[in-house]
Structure 1
């Protein structure tokens, strides 16, 4: 098991070895890939004839509120369900996909039009609108893509959550399950406040969420200078994992770290993104896939299968996003196959999973004899860079702190002064400093100035100065080895003493 995976599994501030059964439950649901297909885009994409297994399951987008009747579902406001059957031959194409073993997920919402709950204010009519789509296309999994007003309208969020809860309960009573995924924007810092609110509304209403699919794209200024799209996406997924764990905990459902990962999906925008200097490359796809497989996330998607091909010679402005090509030189490679490597599950399997509390917080007592750093205490004051042990995990202070629990569940990284470094490893012990007789080196003096390589004794322990300093106590070296100007010396570092003098 890699250190990266260990760190992820222990990321709740308490001992991360959850119940064996919880981990097994998470691993039982094989992760799946289904790329988005823009049904109304031109030229039309032949999703009914998939080129590979990575493209056989699709997320059809987007069902939105009709122009004339906001409670009537439509495909992009351009076609009613019946009109799409005639004008796009959609029902026949879906039947052909089914013959070839493909499955579909229907996505509601998107950026450009009103999601049903935004315009349809009648609770019963809203539930019936969702039901009409589920029934017509016989889907077991739906996707709620919340962007723009669809995400920020809290009243619509309440209506949506209640309608989906009612529909899901209705299906469950009839002996069928309906998996519900929320697709939300994300930055490297995680979900926005509107995004965490959307999740909370669903959980509070009693919706059994299959998971949260993260739009790992269009980061803009939130992406650090020099950070690759893969690095930004991995950071976004990791941040959202912490947030989702907290949201479920606040809703009264304790989940293991492994199960939370199984409830996370990733959807990069392949090739050229809407932000001109953001390009999700083939190498980015490989790196995101490797991380997703290691963490065992539940779902992989991409925007979009329509775009999973290089642009032709007639398409000159590659910085302008196309509906029909990626804007980069892919050769014969396809993003769907790179991102979907190892994702062997199917969407319908997610409908069979029922979310139940499973993680058990253990009453962990930290033992100073087996801890590499000082044990955190409520009364202690900790400088920036100080490392402590709490519940068998190592944390590092981002700024001066006192009384702030290292494992306090927060939605945003900036809310806590602590960064989780990773677990205390088996066999670790406190650092045992070398001691020397008095007079071996001068005793440290608070007012003295020290040059690089100067040596002193502090409480019998020898230290060497890493750079010029004055007033910096060597006592901080154990908890802040990087920030302290002093480094403790070992027996091998100490110069032999002759006739009471050093050297």
Structure 2
């Protein structure tokens, strides 16, 4: 195994980040510097390791890396043996002993280690039962996981939980308890093990089942090394015109926010930098299972640039088996192949593009514990340096309205009043606000048309209004489309077609006056 802490140097990227950070600290003042200086821990260096489908034919020679990006691998998948629910197997086809005899797997893994490569093993996947799904005996389940760790001398594992396993409550509880016990036992013995969770996502982040799964692992006491999201096979959740690279970036942004909330709820607040280091991204290269979804080399470059920008902890891909242009005899490129990508790669590899600049290693921080961190002080918004009005709980905001809250700009997705823009909800559909981005240095207020009080009479429920009458409701102007009495203008924001009221743009009122 290679050294965990190779000689370090200051790369141009790191130097740039350092300059930006220092500049921001100077701008924020001495107190910001004190907070920064007091809260810098050892961060994991971002790393790349691609998945290898061990049982797919033709068998992939992962022990013969084509380049540095192929050096570290995530071997998949360990699942329950169909004939013995508490026995681990490779893909349900090979017991561990069968894999040694038929695939020469043990010797090939040893060769990877001898060459300085690092190996993780992934449990689960979509097509077979992960051990906790089939094995109802908690003690035997712990032994099953441990047998794989011991067999292949592993210091890190990956739990790929998807499909029905993500809604199987009993198995989720069994798995969480077993992994927590395994981690504790290994840590006490001086052989700690990192545990990565790999889950499906949409461009809006984890599904409710996904966030529930992470919460169950944290609640059971599992020290999660990181959360790896499968940025693939989105289906209808991805806008038709959105590229696969941009969808992956959106998914990372959304999951970063969700992960912070999950740790907050577990009484373990973490800084943004730490949360990024605990995130991973795994695209399916080339043709995805969804016909219209193709992850190109350009998409790979987009993901890589974002990973470097935010210091995302892990990058993987599915899979090394597929990282090659399909041959001339493979005629239907829309049909997913186990052994080629379905796109013309020229002389490039997806591993090379996705792994560019990622100089960390999967095991470079095994055993590091996750501890609560001091978060930066909450800043006070200043109207003189805010591009939009500062959010107020007593003000009504119509769809499309932008506000500033805690040095960030938010936009209303629908009519809202009293909903805090940064309310820590896990799913985007639970909040009426979309985060646009931070307030930038040097910004000043952008003129926003408003309707002064008294411009129109306040709406009254017992007053009769005729077509063309105008009123104010919660400070917003409305015009009657036909005769009405008792119909609140608020309903026009929810169902504009059937409401007798039409919202008026404040700018139009100013022009009219």
Specify the TM-score bucket, using the shorter chain as the normaliser. Answer: 0.7 to 0.9
Secondary structure (helix, strand or coil) at the match of 1:155 reads helix
**Contact in 2 for aligned 1:188/1:222 (Cα 8 Å):** yes
Q: 1:331 to 1:152 in 2, by over 3 A?
A: same
For the 8 Å contact 2:227–2:278, the answer to whether it is kept is: yes
2:494 corresponding residue in structure 1? none
Mean Cα displacement is larger for which, 265-274 or 231-240?
A: 231-240
Q: Deviations over 1:224-270 (max 9, x none)?
A: 02111111111111111111111111111101111111111111100
Identify unmatched segments of 5+ residues in structure 1: 10-14, 435-443, 448-468, 478-482, 490-503
Q: Which residue of 1 aligns with 2:41?
A: 25
Q: Aligned to 2:346, which of 331, 334, 342?
A: 331
Distance 1:137 1:212, change over 3 A: same
- Other-structure match for 1:74: 89
Who is 1:113 aligned against?
Answer: 128
Q: Say whether 1:212 aligns with 2:227.
A: yes
Matched, 1:417 2:429: no
Indicate the residue corresponding to 2:49 in structure 1.
Answer: 34
Q: Distance in 2 between matches of 1:252 and 1:374?
A: 33
Partner of residue 440, structure 1: none
**Partner SS, residue 366 of structure 2:** helix
Distance 1:50-1:470 versus aligned 2 partners, 3 A rule = farther
The 5 A counterparts of 1:307-456 are: 307-360=322-375, 362-430=377-445
CA, structure 1 residues 69+16, in 2 after alignment: closer, same or farther (shift >3 Å)? farther
- On the 8 A contact 1:16/1:257 being kept in 2, the answer is no
Change (3 A) 1:295 1:17: farther
- 1:96-495 residue pairs with structure 2 within 5 A? 96-360=111-375, 362-430=377-445, 485=507
| Counterparts in 2 of 1:304 and 1:487: CA distance versus 1, 3 Å | farther
- Secondary structure of the structure 2 residue equivalent to 1:240: helix
SS of 2:240's equivalent? coil
Task: Please list every run of 5 or more consecutive structure 2 residues that lacks an aligned counterpart in the other structure.
Answer: 1-15, 25-30, 458-467, 478-504
In structure 1, what is the Cα distance between the partners aligned to 2:448 and 2:205? 41
| Deviation for aligned residue 1:349 | 1.5
- CA–CA separation in structure 1 for the residues paired with 2:412 and 2:32: 21
| Structure 1 residues 433 and 159: alpha-carbon distance in aligned structure 2, compared to 1, 3 A threshold | closer
- The alignment's TM-score, normalised by the length of structure 1, stands at 0.82
Structure 2 residue matching 1:65: 3-state secondary structure: strand
Question: Is 2:86 the partner of 1:92?
Answer: no
Aligned counterparts of 2:240 and 2:385: Cα–Cα separation in 1: 40
Aligned twin of 2:500: none
Q: Using structure 2 for the length normalisation, give the TM-score.
A: 0.81
2:64 corresponds in structure 1 to 49
- Whole-Å Cα distance in 2 between the matches of residues 16 and 161 of structure 1? 38
DSSP-derived class of the 2:52 partner: strand
What's the CA shift string for 1:162-212, capped at 9, x where partnerless?
000000011111112211000000111111111111100100001000111
3-state SS of paired residue (1:372): coil
Q: Does the 8 Å contact 1:433/1:488 carry over to 2?
A: no
> Is it true that 1:62 corresponds to 2:77 in the alignment?
yes
Label 1:38 to 1:376 Cα distance change in 2 as closer, same or farther (>3 A).
Answer: same
Deviations 1:32-73 (A, max 9, x none): 111000111100100001010100100000000011111110
Instruction: Classify the secondary structure of the residue corresponding to 1:287.
Output: helix
What's the offset of the Cα at 1:16? 10
Mapped contact 1:306–1:325 kept (Cα < 8 A): yes
Q: Distance in 1 between matches of 2:32 and 2:236?
A: 34
Shift of 1:282: 0.7
Higher relative contact order (CA 8 A, sep 6+): 1
Distance in 1 (CA, whole Å) between partners of 2:366 and 2:227 is: 14
**For residues 456-482 of structure 1, what are the alpha-carbon distances to aligned partners after superposition, in whole Å with 9 as ceiling and x for unaligned?**
xxxxxxxxxxxxx99699x989xxxxx
Kindly indicate whether the alpha-carbon contact (under 8 Å) linking 2:388 and 2:448 is maintained by their aligned counterparts in 1.
Answer: no
Q: CA RMSD in A?
A: 2.9
